Amino acid sequence: MSLFTKFISTYKKEYLVEKPKFDESLLGLLKKARYLLLDDRLSPSISLKNALDRLKIRVKEPMKVAITGQFSSGKSTFLNALMAKNILPTGITPVTSKVNYIRYGDELKIRVKYKDGRDEYHDIEHISKFIDQRKGVEDIDYLILYSPLNMLKDIVFVDTPGLNSLASTDTQTTIKVLNEVDGIIWLTLMDNAGKMSEEKVLQKYLSIYKNKSLCVLNQKDKFSEDEIKESVTYVKESFGEYFSEVVPISAKQALKSRSSDKLALMSEALDEFTKSLHSKLANNLQANNLSVVQDAYKDYDLKLKEITNTNLSENIKLAKISNISKVIDFIKEEIQPKAVESKEYSIKKEINSVCVKIINQYELFLKIYDELKDEIEDFDVTSQKEFVKVKKEFSQDLKNSYISIKQIIEVIATEIYNQIHTTKRQRYTKEKRNFLQKNEKYDKIVYEAPFIDADEAYKKLFYEDNLVGKMFKKYSKTLNEIENRVNETNAKIYQQFEENIYRWQSPYSIIRKKEDIQSDIEFANIRKFAARVYEHILKPYNDEMLKSRAHVSSGFEHISSAIEFNYQNATGICISFLNEKMEEFAKLYEQNPIRFSLYHPTLEEIKQRLDESFFVYKLEKLMDKSRTFLNVDYDRILETFKDIKKDKLDFIDKAKNRHEKIINLLKELDV
């Protein structure tokens, strides 16, 4: 089904087509279940459809009664006794490893259902090779045995492998059958009844069954009357909550006494006659067919006379002793009258089980999404806390670096100040003339003018000891360390989140359904979602961290380049400026010493001039104010992460919303 077709189907169901109404019958409930569970929005599996199809068949077919118990309790012998025919193979070792459905049919035959879908019919005498676990029957799913027994018109017996098998698959098969039947006959050996191992099995598998089962204690022929009474009393007292009746029998005696029923013996004789006749005709195609038929009929007629004249009193007595009639009476008087109620209860329970399994599927998906949301929420709290913490820490580191620059500038300023010397200069002033002097005369005045010895300052700061160079090298290293720690810390904060997300992803990218009826497509969608968690969740966070790294590197590079490659030039500009200013003031002083004075820069003035040369006001903005470039970047990260978180939670909630709607839809099915 294409996405467009699926959309149209869903749209019609939700908006255009009025939802059908269902009656309150069992079939109506099943139709409602099919309508809801097979909705295209649930992407139902083939197994779910098949399970609902089987339930539909169960609504219309006879009730099912399981014959179960622990291995080697004589189930096959017991069923042979019920059918008054030695059909199922028996033995000391447990041989029945397949589920056998015993149904009504016009003639005895078996139908073999293979796991690959094959379907075969065989004569009843070949049954052992299909159910004996010693003969390699792994490819067989189950068998159906058809028998013309009137009881089977209303009841289907189910022969199960048992519940204490060494093979867990046999036990699981039996458990599955018990969930599908309408009545249970629990068969156990007389000397095993009431043992601890059996009590655990009963508590585990029969405690949830609505109608109490029948407990049949087999092999009563091996015990005295007192021992039998004691065992029956004990089982009734100990396991009354599971069984409405406890009947001691001897399946062996019952099977042996089957000849007590002359009609049954005549029926067997007729079967033997028809088979014998068929065989003789097939093997003697050239012979006189009329003669073959006449000879076979003579043998059959003699057999009928023998049965008619036989004294069956001993067999009748043996049948009575076997107590098998009480089991048959229980089936007729207890199980059959409750068949409708039991079947309805069983089918409703199965529908509920199907719904629970599908709802569990979607609740699992909600849990998966909630776990992812928790990781995002946790990261939001953690990142906010950690980024605020490192923001404060690294901003202080930047301020300390800024202080280091100021200290370097102070060293440079001090050295410049120390290299302020004086040089002798001369100026001229007019002498006062008397009236006898014809020409003006000038007096030469020598004075001390300040200047900065630039060569000596450079020598001290940069060349001889390279004091400032070493300081800037150390400063640059410190700045680089801060940058690395910022990037490493930011990366660790994100990497922890990334690890948590991939840890979440690990089991869900390979998740498989636990129940066959659950949706293959829905689980495939979850695997696909988990596999693409980087694109769905991590990528915008990772992109933001990469952007932050670029911003941080750019900020540190700007600071570093502004200082490291400029400090000599900035110092030279400062000295040149001060010398020019001193020269300018000296010239003014020479022109008018009364009005102008010589300029002698103070240490603070030198620092101020160096600040301007080093563009310290820009560095202060980047490194020392409350809005350092790191603060700006961290604030941007925190704000962006909030937006990403909201976007991702909305994205997940949208996915969750679909599953929640489906859960609410399925809860409409009130079973």
What are the backbone angles phi and psi of residue 595, rounded to the nearest 5°? Answer: -85, -35
pLDDT at 15: 45
Q: Are 334 and 245 contacting, i.e. CB atoms less than 8 angstroms apart?
A: yes
Residue bearing tokens 């603060």: 631
Using alpha carbons, list the distances in angstroms from residue 634 to 172, 498, 626.
59, 19, 12
Q: Are 518 and 577 contacting, i.e. CB atoms less than 8 angstroms apart?
A: no
Q: Are 333 and 148 contacting, i.e. CB atoms less than 8 angstroms apart?
A: no
pLDDT at 302: 79
Whether 381 has a pLDDT exceeding 60, the answer reads yes
Average pLDDT, the chain: 81
pLDDT digits (tens, 9 = 90+) for 250-301: 888 888 776 556 666 677 777 777 777 777 776 665 556 677 777 777 777 7
User: What does 479-492 look like in DSSP terms, one character per residue?
Assistant: HHHHHHHHHHHHHH
Which of 243, 212, 210, 242 lies closest to 346, judged by CA?
A: 210
Q: Are 324 and 82 contacting, i.e. CB atoms less than 8 angstroms apart?
A: yes
pLDDT at 421: 92
Using alpha carbons, list the distances in angstroms from residue 582 to 44, 353, 358, 418.
94, 100, 93, 15
* Single-letter code of the amino acid located at 668: E
pLDDT digits (tens, 9 = 90+) for 76-119: 788 888 777 777 776 544 455 678 888 888 888 889 888 888 88
Residues of the chain with CATH 3.40.50.300: 64-252+317-347
CA 577 to CA 579: how far, in whole Å?
6
CA 110 to CA 100: how far, in whole Å?
10
User: Which of 185-194, 330-339, 502-511, 602-611: highest mean pLDDT?
Assistant: 502-511
Q: Are 558 and 479 contacting, i.e. CB atoms less than 8 angstroms apart?
A: no
Angle of helix 467-508 relative to helix 339-418, nearest 10 degrees, comes to 180
Using alpha carbons, list the distances in angstroms from residue 539 to 495, 543, 545.
12, 6, 10
Beta-bridge partners for 103:
146
Which of 46, 6, 29, 670 lies closest to 347, judged by CA?
A: 29
Strands 183-189 and 155-159 come out as unpaired
Please give the structure tokens belonging to residue 647: 């976007």
pLDDT at 545: 92
CA 84 to CA 260: how far, in whole Å?
10
The helix or strand, by DSSP H or E, that contains position 244, with its residue range, turns out to be strand 243-248
pLDDT at 208: 59
- Dihedral over Cα of 300, 306, 307, 308: its sign: positive
At residue 74's C-alpha, the angle toward residues 144 and 86, to 5°, is 55
Q: How many CB atoms lie within 10 A of CB 100?
A: 24
Which of 578, 584, 613, 616 lies closest to 598, judged by CA?
A: 584
| 174: exposed, middle or buried (Cβ count in 10 Å: 0-12, 13-18, 19+) | buried
Angle of helix 567-591 relative to helix 339-418, nearest 10 degrees, comes to 40
Which of 255, 192, 258, 251 lies closest to 221, judged by CA?
A: 251
- Torsion, Cα of 73, 74, 76, 80 (10° steps): -150
Burial pattern 424-439, b for ≥16 Cβ within 10 A else e, equals: ebebeeeeeeeeeeee
Q: How many CB atoms lie within 10 A of CB 324?
A: 24
3 state DSSP class of 428: strand
CA 110 to CA 125: how far, in whole Å?
9
Q: Are 209 and 66 contacting, i.e. CB atoms less than 8 angstroms apart?
A: no
CA 229 to CA 235: how far, in whole Å?
10
pLDDT at 195: 66
Whether 417 has a pLDDT exceeding 60, the answer reads yes
CA 16 to CA 22: how far, in whole Å?
19
What are the backbone angles phi and psi of residue 638, rounded to the nearest 5°? Answer: -60, -40
More confident residue, 4 or 535: 535
What are the backbone angles phi and psi of residue 88, rounded to the nearest 5°? Answer: -75, 140
Burial pattern 114-137, b for ≥16 Cβ within 10 A else e, equals: eeeeeeeeeebeebbebbbbeeeb
Q: Which of 353-362, 576-585, 608-617 has the lowest mean pLDDT?
A: 608-617
Classify residue 207 by its DSSP letter. Answer: T
3 state DSSP class of 421: strand
The helix or strand, by DSSP H or E, that contains position 451, with its residue range, turns out to be strand 442-452
Q: Which of 14-28, 60-74, 207-221, 481-495 has the lowest mean pLDDT?
A: 14-28
CA 506 to CA 200: how far, in whole Å?
38
More confident residue, 611 or 636: 636
Q: For residue 16, what pLDDT band results from cuts at 50, 70 and 90?
A: very low
Whether 12 has a pLDDT exceeding 60, the answer reads no
Q: Which of 415-424, 428-437, 587-596 has the lowest mean pLDDT?
A: 428-437
More confident residue, 671 or 383: 383
Q: CATH: 2.40.40.20, 3.40.50.300, 3.40.920.10, 3.40.640.10. Which one for 64-252+317-347?
A: 3.40.50.300
Q: Greatest CA separation found in the chain?
A: 194
3 state DSSP class of 145: strand
Beta-bridge partners for 423:
449
3 state DSSP class of 69: strand
pLDDT digits (tens, 9 = 90+) for 116-130: 888 888 887 777 777
3-state secondary structure 253-300: HHHHHHHHCHHHHHHHHHHHHHHHHHHHHHHCCCCCHHHHHHHHHHHH
Mean pLDDT of 444-451: 89
3 state DSSP class of 301: helix
pLDDT at 170: 60
User: What does 584-626 look like in DSSP terms, one character per residue?
Assistant: HHHHHHHH-TTT-------HHHHHHHHHHHTTHHHHHHHHTST
**What percent of the chain is modeled with pLDDT above 70?**
84
Length of the chain: 671
CA-based R_g, the chain, Å: 51
